[in-house]
Amino acid sequence: MRRKNSNLIDIVAIGKIRAEKALERFREIAVIGVSDPDLLLILNEVLKYWKDSSRPAIAAYCCEAVGGKAEVADNAGGIFILAAVATSIHDDIIDKSLKNHFRWTVLGKHGVEKALLVGDLFLVKAWSTVQELLRNHNKPIRVAEIVEGYGLISVQICEAEFLEMSCRKRLDTDLSVREKILWNLNADFEACAKTGAILGDGSSEEVLALSGVGRRLGFLLGLKDEVADCLNIQGNLPHRLLFESVPLPVVYAAKSSEDIQTKLQSIIQKRSIVSSDIATVVECCLDTGAFSYVNKLAKRSKNEALKMLKSIPYNTATTNLELIVENSSRIMDNLCSGNLD
């Protein structure tokens, strides 16, 4: 029987510790070969604020879960961080985000041309780092499997972002379309999990199961971000309503009645969003059960992920993966219930 922790220990802190080697490698790779002082300044600004450890931690835990040595996955974890940073910078350009998470973006601080080039640089470094996997792994064919899989997933992410642009200021988008977009936007979590399992020399069944866990975790985290944006926790809701796709809970709320749709439509057509507008959006989502709807999607993904993990040998890494999924679901529960502590 798997060990359960009713207190849900601080898995975030554990993940940060586990991913530190990958983060260190990411910081090294980012500046290798760069000599221009202005470009180095921007790169170091990015390195200072980018602390996301979730992707390399997933890769490491999946590697360990199938009996591999997690150190093998650390270089791969650095690749995923580089690619995630590149995508984030490019997304800011598409969304015209001058600020994000209460800080200036590369776009906001240095302009579109420099932001585009910096994003390109991170992307090139991500793919060029794959050669390290080829040199250091004794089964090049398995590395080729990783590269092929990541390439296919990258296409899914790109298509999701392309489709998401058509959802700007639109409340009539089918819920199934918005769900599909979110299913694919964080698909790189599947790539991280699959890579870890392959580098750990997992069986085909284990690789498939852990890939499924990664995809569902990415979807759950995407849903969490939709609710957090809707609640304007990090001040993102006005910008999303003006320049980005309408959050999934708002789309759901708009479909409940013509009156609510009209009310929400009048808000997203404004040139600026004020505090009373934000209050109206949140109220509409609460009154229509929009947060409950999104949370049901999240719980389904959580349950599917935990079921898939049961086919993986029980060990510390598997337990940590369970805790990550459960903790993400708990955070979602708190957001949807209004408990923001």
Number of domains in the chain: 1
pLDDT value of position 148? 84
Task: For residue 12, name the pLDDT band (cuts at 50, 70, 90).
Answer: low
pLDDT value of position 9? 44
- Is residue 198 in a domain? yes
- Is residue 120 in a domain? yes
- Is residue 73 in a domain? yes
- Is residue 337 in a domain? no
pLDDT value of position 194? 94
**Percent of the chain clearing pLDDT 70 (strictly above):** 92
**Percent of the chain clearing pLDDT 90 (strictly above):** 70
Question: At residue 2, does pLDDT exceed 60?
Answer: no
pLDDT value of position 18? 75
Question: At residue 283, does pLDDT exceed 60?
Answer: yes
pLDDT value of position 6? 36
Write down the pTM of the prediction. Answer: 0.90
pLDDT value of position 7? 40
**60 or 128: whose pLDDT is higher?**
60
pLDDT value of position 45? 94
pLDDT tens-place string over residues 173-231? 999 999 999 999 999 999 999 999 999 999 999 999 999 999 999 999 999 999 999 99
Region of poorest pLDDT, from 19-28, 158-167, 183-192, 323-332: 19-28
Average pLDDT over residues 238-245: 92
Nearest CA-CA partner of 311 in 211, 214, 209, 195: 209
pLDDT value of position 42? 96
CATH number for position 123:
1.10.600.10
pLDDT value of position 185? 93
pLDDT value of position 19? 78
- Is residue 333 in a domain? no
- Is residue 2 in a domain? no
Question: At residue 3, does pLDDT exceed 60?
Answer: no
- Is residue 211 in a domain? yes
- Is residue 339 in a domain? no
pLDDT tens-place string over residues 295-307? 999 999 999 999 9
What domain range is 72 assigned to? Answer: 11-328
